[in-house]
Structure 1
Amino acid sequence: MHPRLLKTFLAVARSRNITRAAEMVHLAQSSVSDQVQSLEAELGAVLFTRSKSGLELTPAGLALRPIAEELLRLDGEARAAVQAASGQTSGVLTIGALETIASARLAPWLPGFQASHPDIAVRMKVTDSGTLLRQLEDGDIDVAFCFNRRDVPNGGADQRFARQTIAAEPLVLIAAPGQNLVPCDLAALAAKRFVATEPGCIYRHMFDTAFAEAGIGASGFAAEVGSIGAIARLVAAGAGLGLVPRLAVSDAVQRGELIELPWPGRAQVAPLTMIWRRRRVQPPALRHLLAAARDTLAPPHSGTGSGSESANRSKALFPNNSGKAVVS
């Protein structure tokens, strides 16, 4: 069974749709159908059946799926082992990230990494945190950069994945210029109108946690929108206040489009984390990228906090973090 056929089979199994599977593996729909038929002919069994909700795995397909996943994992490890043994460092890496991390952290950082490693080609996919984890699980990306949830130990870590927190990004309270609001306590602040992302988003979780830790719930929202960029624009227009990672709005604050207000409670930070799949042997290209990200991809000291204050916030949040990534 050729790995290419197994990858296509898994794409169809996960998407339950030939069109979506073709997009996932970058093939024409006819090629996806041909590859599935070739695999069925090789195995002598029908792998899919049609239903009203899409393509369903047959008993034979269900039996093949976990084995196909394991075979592709072993194929990747075999290639990585050969590359490591022969001293090869070249390769193609696909990284995934939240939009704010991609634009504010990865975009300025990647050119330097690629200049230092010209034999490593890097692609980037930008999406939400839930999709990032699915893409990592499916092998569509090699590493994900996102914000970790602090209410779940180890971010609810799947043992198939390794995680490393590389920075503690401050959350900041933002408002439109001209608003002379100086909140005296969290209770008074919670009574104000906010612009936030929708429930289920990692940014909304950060917002809710900031008040929940003090036993307070925000009273209402001026708007719930799907992106940090939209929040910044609505806040700048005077729709309400916002609580967002500083990296998402630092440029707008510097341009005077937004102002940063003091947060009356305990300083809030968002753990910026990279996640990758555990392997017995990591591809050399990925190992280089992980090491470079650990050592150099850190937020610059900005805003009202000094470098020592930022370090103290990081130590308070991650007291056992040695700063060294364990590449598993």
Structure 2
Amino acid sequence: MELQQMRYVVAIAETNSFTRAAERCLVAQSALSHQVARLERELGARLFERTSRRVRLTAAGAAFLPEARRCLEAAERAAAEVAAAVGEVRGPLEVGLIPTVAAVDVPRALRDFRRRYPQVRIGLRVGASDDLVEQVKAGEIEVAFLGLPTTARPQGVNVRELGRDRHVAVVAPDHPLAEGTEVSLERLVDEVFVDMPAGTAGRVQSDQAFEAAGLDRDVAFEVSSAEYMARLVGEGLGVALLPAAYVPQLTGVTTLEVTDATGRVEYVVWARTGATPAARAFLDIIDTAGAATD
């Protein structure tokens, strides 16, 4: 069994086509088909069902695929570790982040990282904090930036606190509240709210604030993007609570201090099983960036 055969199987499974898989792998289709057939003979089972219309995994193929991916990832990591041992950082780096991360200038950190390690392939995933933690634990991403209530802390991963922040109220410029500079949760509870989807870490932070004050608010719009939340607020569809360090980059809205606001904590997390050379190098960049802004 060879790594190249596994690469072919993964490519076919992802493209549902021997032709497209061969194009992706830069190999003749006949050569790819020959290697897959050879692997199937070695395994004693067919990995794909082939018809004139489609290609799909058999039960044996579905069982083989995740293990093949893990083998390829292990091989790539081994090569990256060897390269790092002789002073070269390369390989993939998957980074996850919440839309409102503010404790670190992630684009600038990526710029500095890319200049120093141009051979690293970087992927970015934007998502909710809880989902990002699970992806780190599953090995799908190496590093993630989170924002959580002060009552929560990431579990099952390595954690470094980056900074603490508080929420502010965001309203349309022509909203009656825009004439002031601060507001209480009790005054805000009568407003219609734009917020993150229920159950997400971003939503929990504001929900807990109102629950602690014994208040029940109306969330009419649930949006997964903080930037789009601000756009809805700017159109007068509601008000929102967003991290104070994040809102300066927004336009078309007015910000007010919340006298009884809750706080949140931003973290960077990575897998407990050990960081890849690229992840370790990126974490060092983050450390340097944090030291420069302290």
Q: TM-score, normalised by structure 1?
A: 0.65
Contact 1:172 1:260 (8 Å CA) reproduced: yes
1:15-55 deviations in Å (ceiling 9; x for gaps): 8x838xx89xx769x98x958666434322234679xxx96
Structure 2: tracts of 5 or more residues without a match: none
Partner-residue secondary structure (3-state), 1:108: helix
Contact 2:166 2:263 (8 Å CA) reproduced: yes
Contact 2:170 2:256 (8 Å CA) reproduced: yes
CA root-mean-square deviation? 4.1
1:40-78 deviations in Å (ceiling 9; x for gaps): 34322234679xxx967636854x467546544543453
Q: Match of 2:256? A: 261
Partner-residue secondary structure (3-state), 1:262: strand
Partner-residue secondary structure (3-state), 2:105: helix
- Counterpart of 1:75 in structure 2: which amino acid? A
Q: Match of 2:185? A: 186
Contact 2:109 2:285 (8 Å CA) reproduced: no
Q: Match of 1:171? A: 167
User: 1:191 Cα shift?
Assistant: 2.4
Q: Distance in 1 between matches of 2:151 and 2:37?
A: 46
The verdict on how the C-alpha distance between 1:49 and 1:202 changes in structure 2, with shifts beyond 3 A counting, is farther
- Counterpart of 2:89 in structure 1: which amino acid? T
Q: Match of 1:294? A: 287
The verdict on how the C-alpha distance between 1:61 and 1:213 changes in structure 2, with shifts beyond 3 A counting, is same
Partner-residue secondary structure (3-state), 2:238: coil
The verdict on how the C-alpha distance between 1:172 and 1:298 changes in structure 2, with shifts beyond 3 A counting, is farther
User: 1:148 Cα shift?
Assistant: 3.8
Candidates 252, 268, 278, aligned match of 1:285: 278
The verdict on how the C-alpha distance between 1:107 and 1:162 changes in structure 2, with shifts beyond 3 A counting, is same
Query: Over alpha carbons, which structure has the higher Rg?
Result: 2
Q: Match of 1:108? A: 108
- Counterpart of 1:291 in structure 2: which amino acid? D
Partner-residue secondary structure (3-state), 1:232: helix
Contact 2:171 2:238 (8 Å CA) reproduced: yes
Q: Match of 2:158? A: 162
The verdict on how the C-alpha distance between 1:12 and 1:99 changes in structure 2, with shifts beyond 3 A counting, is farther
Q: Distance in 2 between matches of 1:266 and 1:71?
A: 48
Q: Distance in 2 between matches of 1:137 and 1:41?
A: 35
The verdict on how the C-alpha distance between 1:39 and 1:198 changes in structure 2, with shifts beyond 3 A counting, is farther
Aligned residues: 277
Contact 1:183 1:189 (8 Å CA) reproduced: no
User: 1:263 Cα shift?
Assistant: 1.1
Residue pairs, 1:1-328, within 5 angstroms: 1-3=1-3, 5-6=5-6, 18=16, 39-47=39-47, 58=59, 61-62=62-63, 64=64, 67-68=67-68, 71-72=71-72, 74-101=74-101, 105-115=105-115, 117-129=116-128, 132=132, 136=136, 139-148=139-148, 151-152=151-152, 154-155=153-154, 157-158=155-156, 161-178=157-174, 179-180=178-179, 185-218=184-217, 220-252=218-250, 257-269=252-264, 271-279=265-273, 282-297=275-290
Q: TM-score, normalised by structure 2?
A: 0.71
The verdict on how the C-alpha distance between 1:121 and 1:10 changes in structure 2, with shifts beyond 3 A counting, is closer
The verdict on how the C-alpha distance between 1:142 and 1:120 changes in structure 2, with shifts beyond 3 A counting, is farther
Contact 1:183 1:262 (8 Å CA) reproduced: yes
Q: Distance in 1 between matches of 2:238 and 2:281?
A: 43
Contact 1:165 1:272 (8 Å CA) reproduced: yes
Partner-residue secondary structure (3-state), 1:273: strand
Q: Distance in 2 between matches of 1:246 and 1:216?
A: 22
Percent identity over paired residues: 26
- Counterpart of 1:277 in structure 2: which amino acid? A
User: 1:242 Cα shift?
Assistant: 0.8
Partner-residue secondary structure (3-state), 2:283: helix
The verdict on how the C-alpha distance between 1:45 and 1:163 changes in structure 2, with shifts beyond 3 A counting, is farther
User: 1:250 Cα shift?
Assistant: 0.9
- Counterpart of 1:143 in structure 2: which amino acid? V
Partner-residue secondary structure (3-state), 1:146: strand
Partner-residue secondary structure (3-state), 2:258: coil
Q: Distance in 2 between matches of 1:138 and 1:5?
A: 24
Q: Distance in 2 between matches of 1:4 and 1:210?
A: 54
The verdict on how the C-alpha distance between 1:79 and 1:290 changes in structure 2, with shifts beyond 3 A counting, is same
